[in-house]
């Protein structure tokens, strides 16, 4: 999970292609799987996913501003302008069945984007896969960290265990990376849930059994956000179990969204 000094204005819009990375382009696929990274993460997280999915599914990894090839763009610091921009730029790619997967911050982004697409365009993903994030209606159990002094902020990053040790020990790289992490945490920590009708699509939630940030009950509470089916899958590991068990997660995804 990961912020930069910024206000609530949207970064300059860029082309659709800059927002999406296709590890294995497959325009003939029957369904698109849009993948949203955790805080501080990039589309690179999903670079191998296409190798573990049937060719009926095209992986479309979201590249948010401030990372990857978009590193020079200012990152968002609030969720609402982010999903507003995402809804606009992704609309041309929603011309066939699609599903969302998001881990941690990506789970919240994908959920609120699904709500906005329903409201603005009357369209829904076939399935929502949320991972390592508490249900949105639950109040954050811990105080925000995005505004902490640098030493305390880095200490929190170490505790979360999602930032590579080599990066944490490289002061020069950390000075480049900390603004992005602060911005992403601000997206999460300034979010205010607004109650809406549940989504009428299946939701599958994933959690880590040793995750100190999100409990099983907090993951289970996603069931309240759908009037369709709900499934919960727990894996060994901490908040970033995604990296160790992505092949198992993809097996579940492929079973759920084959059309």
**pLDDT tens for each residue of 164-189:** 777 777 888 888 888 999 999 999 99
Give the model's pLDDT for residue 159: 79
Asked whether residue 64 is domain-assigned, the answer is: yes
Q: What is the pTM of this model?
A: 0.90
Asked whether residue 4 is domain-assigned, the answer is: no
Report how many domains make up the chain: 1
Active site residue 4: no
pLDDT, tens digit, for every residue of 78-99?
A: 999 999 999 999 999 999 999 9
Asked whether residue 11 is domain-assigned, the answer is: no
Asked whether residue 35 is domain-assigned, the answer is: yes
Token pair 């329903």: residue: 118
**The CATH number of the domain where 228 resides is what?**
3.40.50.1820
- Residue ranges of the chain with per-residue pLDDT less than 50: 1-14
Asked whether residue 124 is domain-assigned, the answer is: yes
Q: Which domain holds residue 243?
A: 16-257
Asked whether residue 101 is domain-assigned, the answer is: yes
Please give the angle made by the CA atoms of 197, 203 and 209, to the nearest 5 degrees. 125
Asked whether residue 1 is domain-assigned, the answer is: no
Q: Of the listed 50, 104, 110, 131, which one is catalytic?
A: 104
Query: How many C-beta atoms lie closer than 10 Å to residue 130's C-beta?
Result: 28
Asked whether residue 102 is domain-assigned, the answer is: yes
- CA distance from start to end of the chain: 32
* 3 state DSSP class of 20: strand
């Amino acid at each position: 999970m990961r912020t930069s000094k910024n206000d609530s204005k949207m970064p300059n819009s860029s082309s659709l292609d800059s927002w999406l990375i296709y590890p294995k382009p497959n325009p003939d696929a029957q369904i698109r799987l849009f993948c949203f990274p955790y805080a501080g993460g990039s589309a690179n997280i999903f670079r191998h996913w296409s190798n573990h999915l049937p060719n009926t599914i095209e992986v479309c990894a979201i590249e948010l501003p401030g990372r990857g090839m978009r590193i020079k763009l200012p990152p968002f610091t609030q969720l609402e302008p982010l999903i507003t921009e995402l809804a606009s730029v992704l609309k041309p790619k929603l011309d066939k069945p699609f599903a969302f997967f998001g881990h941690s911050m990506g789970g919240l982004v994908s959920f609120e984007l699904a709500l906005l697409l329903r409201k603005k365009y009357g369209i829904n993903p076939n399935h929502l896969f949320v991972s390592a994030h508490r249900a949105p209606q639950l109040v954050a159990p811990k105080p925000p960290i995005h505004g902490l002094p640098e030493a305390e902020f880095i200490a929190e990053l170490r505790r979360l265990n999602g930032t590579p040790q080599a990066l944490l020990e490289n002061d020069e790289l950390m000075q480049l990376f900390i603004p992005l992490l602060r911005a992403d945490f601000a997206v999460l920590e300034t979010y205010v849930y607004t109650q809406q009708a549940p989504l009428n699509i299946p939701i599958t939630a994933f959690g880590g059994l040793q995750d100190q940030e999100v409990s099983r009950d907090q993951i289970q509470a996603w069931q309240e956000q759908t009037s369709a089916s709900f499934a919960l899958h727990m894996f060994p590991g901490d908040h970033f179990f995604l990296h160790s068990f992505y092949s198992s997660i993809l097996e579940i995804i492929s079973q759920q969204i084959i059309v």
